[in-house]
């Protein structure tokens, strides 16, 4: 009996030491790679935001702290960035929004004009929507996508998804992707959840000036 107990403790000690060693290695690896991962994320954001606001030569956070907005009863932080041209003038705003899609979470880089009145467009930062259907939200205008262009120039306000219509007509109605209504609605819902609350918060905090 004593031999079994001794054997148990010996094996447990080996497992505990192995767990500590592997845990330490994982922590060291994560610490080593974290700066590179964070920089890659920043680079990806800047690249996508730059496509939406081509006049911007750099993007900087509008405030020292993220803007906090309420979405579905939860308070969510958003790092709203100014797109600045070579003279330092604000040419637009860009930020990351996210919401639930058909298959998984959808993350978008969204941009607006400097007055925060019209949408400059969006690009997909990450998504796992159904290939051939929902993943058509990923197709940018220069690659023949018809969904993304509908947002360029659309008003900042409540957008409505419709099943049929003229996608070339830019207004508050977004024509859904055939066979991917859920993914299309998810993108519209993301816009409706984020844009107006962000605009209101920027105005409230004196970061966005409104016309007299």
User: What total number of domains does the chain contain?
Assistant: 1
What SS3 class is residue 159?
coil
Cα 200 to Cα 208: distance, rounded to the nearest angstrom: 9
Output the average pLDDT for the chain: 88
Residue 21 lies in a domain: no
Residues with Cβ < 8 Å from 10, sequence gap 6 or more? Answer: none
Residue 25 lies in a domain: no
Q: Which helix (H) or strand (E) element contains residue 16? A: helix 2-52
Confidence band for 40, pLDDT divided at 50, 70 and 90: confident
Q: Return the pLDDT at 194.
A: 98
Residue with tokens 């930020």: 95
Confidence band for 12, pLDDT divided at 50, 70 and 90: low
Residue 140 lies in a domain: yes
Residue 46 lies in a domain: no
Residue 200 lies in a domain: yes
62 contacts 93 by C-beta, under 8 angstroms = yes
Give me the domain span that covers residue 116.
Answer: 51-204
Residue 61 lies in a domain: yes
Residue 84 lies in a domain: yes
Cα 104 to Cα 93: distance, rounded to the nearest angstrom: 26
Q: Is 3 left (phi over 0), alpha (psi -120 to 50) or beta?
A: alpha
Residue 5 lies in a domain: no
């Amino acid at each position: 009996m004593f031999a079994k107990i001794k054997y148990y403790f010996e094996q447990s000690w080996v497992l505990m030491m192995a767990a500590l060693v592997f845990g330490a290695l994982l922590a060291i690896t994560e610490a080593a790679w974290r700066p590179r991962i964070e920089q890659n994320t920043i680079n990806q954001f800047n690249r996508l935001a730059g496509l939406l606001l081509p006049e911007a030569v750099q993007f900087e956070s509008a405030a020292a702290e993220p803007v906090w907005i309420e979405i579905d009863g939860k308070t969510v932080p958003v790092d709203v960035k100014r797109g600045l041209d070579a003279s330092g003038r604000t040419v637009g705003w860009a930020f990351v929004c996210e919401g639930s899609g058909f298959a998984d979470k959808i993350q978008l880089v969204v941009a607006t004009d400097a007055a925060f009145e019209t949408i400059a467009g969006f690009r997909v930062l990450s998504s796992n929507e159904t290939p051939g259907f929902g993943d058509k939200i990923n197709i940018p205008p220069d690659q023949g996508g018809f969904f993304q262009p509908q947002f360029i120039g659309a008003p900042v306000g409540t957008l409505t998804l419709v099943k049929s219509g003229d996608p070339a007509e830019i207004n508050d109605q977004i024509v859904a992707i055939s066979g991917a209504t859920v993914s299309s609605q998810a993108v519209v819902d993301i816009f409706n959840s984020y844009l107006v609350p962000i605009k209101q918060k920027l105005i409230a905090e004196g970061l966005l000036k409104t016309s007299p």
